[in-house]
Structure 1
Amino acid sequence: MGILKLLLAFAPWLAFLFIAHGSLLRLKIGLVVALALSVVMGVTRLHRGVILWVGLVFFSFGMLIVFVFQDMWTVRHMGVLASGALALGSWLSVVLLRPFTLDYAKEHTDPSLWNDPVFMRTNMLLTSLWAAVFSLNALLAWGKMSQFMLGEVTYEIASYALLVGMAFFTNWYPAHVRRVQARPRP
């Protein structure tokens, strides 16, 4: 999966990440934009699978809880909840043996390879690593929220570094596996 395709797949979450901080108004705008992007991308088939459904559920419930109930606990914990939702959806897709990266990998892979053990193993690994990154980001969001040991900027940098690093790994690793598979065996 190319970096641009990966960014597109996570566009609702990235929009939410960049918009929804600093004030209640920005959180509300972030939820509306992220839900609208999720719906449009789902309808146009630009986005699909587990991450789409996690986003639709999360942003819908987020809007309900923030707009209707004005629950300040949810507002305060939104970063933890967002990363936690992504982690839960990712881990669930691993447990169900339907790694979320499959939906995107199949777009660039010959259908004859879709059941290949190497293809499946690659997607299980990538999805597991994404799930670990989302889990770590939930912990980092909790640390930032509770002001545990480090400054806010340090938590932000660590979180972004994990996401960017995983995006580059996701782009690099499948090509690496193909190169290794293409090498002649001694």
Structure 2
Amino acid sequence: MTIFLILAPFGSFALLMLVTSAEISLFVAAAICLAVIGVDVYRGRSIKMLGAGSVVVFSALGAYVVLVDPNLSHSAVKLTIDIGVFAISLVSLIIRKPFILQYALEEVDAETARQPGFLKAVYLITWAWNAAFVLMIIGNVLTIYVPGLPLWSGLVIAFAARNGAAYFTAWYPLYRKAKYGTPPASALPGAD
């Protein structure tokens, strides 16, 4: 359910870009981001860096398209969104607070969060998402600069990258648990 809420604004944006204007797609995606933030707040959860940053990216680009350049191509709009989301993710790593950590801490118990490999797994999953964002950027760049390339090829790359990262996000914690198991309580930092 969490991964669906995280990806809902981006999936909606991608679908709307196929059938309507960039302005509508951007502002609807921003509204969905705000709704997801509202759901988190209602459930007593924190406001996520990715969600808040995405509201800013979608809204700022929407305002730019409405006020400055209404003829910005759909490919350029998608490229800008992907660069914005990649920047959010990269900044989260630079400040040593990977955006995945906020979600992970709300999904696992305190004992799991204290395990030695927990932060390593969070960083690895965040880097997997960064790789997916880079692939999505490449897909958009190809659709802009390779004139004969079908438009759907960029969508296929984005779909495969996003779904690959989502699959890895679900699979990797299970893999680590199967491989390493749960350490004894005495192995956890701060355990007596």
Q: TM-score, normalised by structure 2?
A: 0.83
Farther-moved stretch of structure 1 (101-110 vs 118-127)? 101-110
Letter in 2 for 1:166: A
Among all aligned residue pairs of Structure 1 and Structure 2, give the percentage whose two residues are the same amino acid: 22
- Describe the superposition over 1:107-129 as per-residue Cα deviations: whole angstroms up to 9, x where unpaired: 22112332433110000000011
Is the CA contact 1:66–1:74 (under 8 Å) kept in the aligned structure 2? no
Which runs of structure 1 show a deviation greater than 6 angstroms over 4 or more consecutive aligned residues? none
List gaps (5 residues or longer) in structure 2.
184-192
| Alignment TM-score, normalising by the size of structure 1 | 0.85
1:31-180 to structure 2, matched below 5 A, reads 31-45=26-40, 48-73=47-72, 77-147=76-146, 150-180=149-179
2:22 matched to 1:27? yes
What is the alpha-carbon distance in structure 1 between the residues aligned to residue 29 and residue 182 of structure 2?
43
Q: 1:148 to 1:132 in 2, by over 3 A?
A: farther
Cα separation, 1, equivalents of 2:11 and 2:47: 16
* 1:12 pairs with one of 9, 26, 29: 9
In 2, are the aligned partners of 1:21 and 1:27 still within 8 Å (CA)? no
Secondary structure of the corresponding residue to residue 18 of structure 2 = coil
**Partners of 2:17 and 2:74 within 8 A in 1:** no
- Separation in 1, partners of 2:123, 2:32: 27
Structure 1 Cα separation of the partners of residues 176 and 146 of structure 2: 41
**Secondary structure class of the residue paired with 1:97:** coil
In 1: Cα distance, 2:159 partner to 2:178 partner:
29
Segments of 5+ residues of structure 1 without an aligned counterpart are none
Q: Which has the higher contact order (CA 8 A, sep 6+)?
A: 1
Partner-residue secondary structure (3-state), 2:117: helix
Deviation of the 1:61 alpha carbon = 0.4
Give aligned pairs, total.
179
Q: Take 1:87 and 1:102, find their aligned partners in 2: how far apart are those partners?
A: 16
Compute the displacement of 1:58 (Å): 0.7
